[in-house]
Amino acid sequence: MENDERKLAIKVGVFIFLGLAIFILGIFTLGGQQKSFVKNIHLGAVFNDVSGLKKGNNVWFSGVKVGTISSLHFTGVSQVDVKMDIDENVQAYIHRNAGVRISSDGLIGNKIIVIDGGSPQAPIVQNGDMLQAEKVLSTDDIMKTIQQNSQNLLVITNDFKTISGNMVHGKGMVGALISDPTIALQFRNAVKDLQATTANTARMANELGRFTDKLNSKGGLADNLLTDTSVFHQLKLSVAQLKQTTANTKALTDNLNRASSKLNSSDNVLGVLLNDQQQATQIKSTLNYLNQSTIKLNDDLEAAQHNFLLKGFFKKRAKQQEEQKAAVASDKNNPGN
């Protein structure tokens, strides 16, 4: 009996020892998964909606589990302050401008928090820092978007159904093109005309290109005008001279106009001769009197030359004139004297 009791006690002790070992191993395993025996830093973030996040859910960074959710409590106006325990070993890789967002562990798994590392220029996070929460679409938002897209798709489908029905019944431009051969023929002719117009436009563009090349050819007038400064200077001088000539012509025209106005007025001799008939007659009579007086004076002088009192004077004068002529003729014949 004693041996049986001893064997039973040994068996019970072995089972108790195995149970304790399994219990301790389970504690260490769960503690390792929950980072219970790892030195942590505490970070926080404030979300407007945590989408079912719970205490104990995991925190991931770059696809690696680095911590757990330690607490959730309300703050502000319907906001949730989420505290996280993060492994101190990954602290050096998380920066203060890092963002946090809520995601899912798989398609329908538990909610998790994902940390984006931030930029290397920002300082490293410290214990107690608050990270910036990023707004993500919830399942309800996704379902609303899908529902809205479905409604839009239904509207588009109905519109397309109406349009296709009109096309089949020959309504509208497209339907007329499909069902009416006359309109289809006119449309093909219009397309041919458009093609011909396009070809003509292309030829005109080519001709314009060749004309431009000719203008730019070396030695041409356009090239000289554009590139030869001396030709341009000469052209500029010619234009200036033309402007001066135009101004002079205008001045001459103005003078002629004023002279013509003078001729049409009676305040000058020519105007009187041209416009005043009575004065012109008087001037003509005066000129006749002067002409007759001149004739009479010539006759009197001729008579005076034959008068015996003055005849010697005129002969002496004639002799002096003859001697002067002879002297002049002698000087011409003997230029060296």
For 112, the enclosing helix (H) or strand (E) is: strand 111-115
Residue in 99, 117, 110, 120 with CA at minimum distance from that of residue 63: 117
For residues 124 and 133, the answer to whether their CB atoms sit within 8 Å is no
Confidence at residue 81, expressed as pLDDT on a 0 to 100 scale: 94
3-class DSSP assignment, residue 66: strand
Asked if pLDDT for residue 221 goes beyond 90, the answer is no
For residues 112 and 120, the answer to whether their CB atoms sit within 8 Å is no
Asked if pLDDT for residue 252 goes beyond 80, the answer is no
Cα gap 97→118, rounded to integer Å: 5
Residues ≥6 apart with Cβ < 8 Å to 99: 115, 116, 118, 131, 132, 133, 134
What is the signed CA dihedral for 116, 122, 124, 125, rounded to 10 degrees?
-60
User: What are the structure tokens assigned to 216, written together?
Assistant: 């730019």
Q: What is the mean pLDDT of residues 110-129?
A: 89
Confidence at residue 126, expressed as pLDDT on a 0 to 100 scale: 92
Asked if pLDDT for residue 263 goes beyond 60, the answer is no
275 pLDDT band (50/70/90 cuts)?
low
Count of other CB atoms within 10 angstroms of residue 68: 21
Residue written as token pair 């897209």: 149
Residues paired with residue 87 on neighbouring β-strands, in sequence order: 40
User: What are the structure tokens assigned to 78, written together?
Assistant: 């319907």
Asked if pLDDT for residue 31 goes beyond 90, the answer is no
Cα gap 5→14, rounded to integer Å: 14
Q: What is the mean pLDDT of residues 193-212?
A: 80
Asked if pLDDT for residue 36 goes beyond 60, the answer is no
Residue in 110, 114, 46 with CA at minimum distance from that of residue 83: 46
207 pLDDT band (50/70/90 cuts)?
confident
Q: What is the mean pLDDT of residues 214-223?
A: 62
Q: What is the mean pLDDT of residues 107-116?
A: 83
Cα gap 284→335, rounded to integer Å: 52
Compute the mean pLDDT over every residue in the chain, rounded to the nearest whole number: 75
Percent of the chain with pLDDT over 90: 18
Alpha-helical (H) ranges within the chain are 2-33, 139-168, 172-179, 181-215, 221-227, 229-264, 269-275, 277-305, 311-333
Confidence at residue 145, expressed as pLDDT on a 0 to 100 scale: 79
User: What are the structure tokens assigned to 184, written together?
Assistant: 């289809």
Write the burial class of residue 60 (CB in 10 Å: 0-12 exposed, 13-18 middle, 19+ buried).
Answer: middle
For residues 85 and 40, the answer to whether their CB atoms sit within 8 Å is yes
Q: Calculate the CA 166 to chain-centre distance.
A: 44
Residue in 101, 100, 84, 95 with CA at minimum distance from that of residue 35: 84
Confidence at residue 95, expressed as pLDDT on a 0 to 100 scale: 92
pLDDT in tens, 151-179: 888 888 777 677 766 666 656 656 665 66
Cα gap 82→42, rounded to integer Å: 10
Confidence at residue 171, expressed as pLDDT on a 0 to 100 scale: 62
Higher per-residue pLDDT: 322 or 253 = 322
Residue ranges per domain, the chain? 37-136, 143-168, 275-305
pTM over 0.85: no
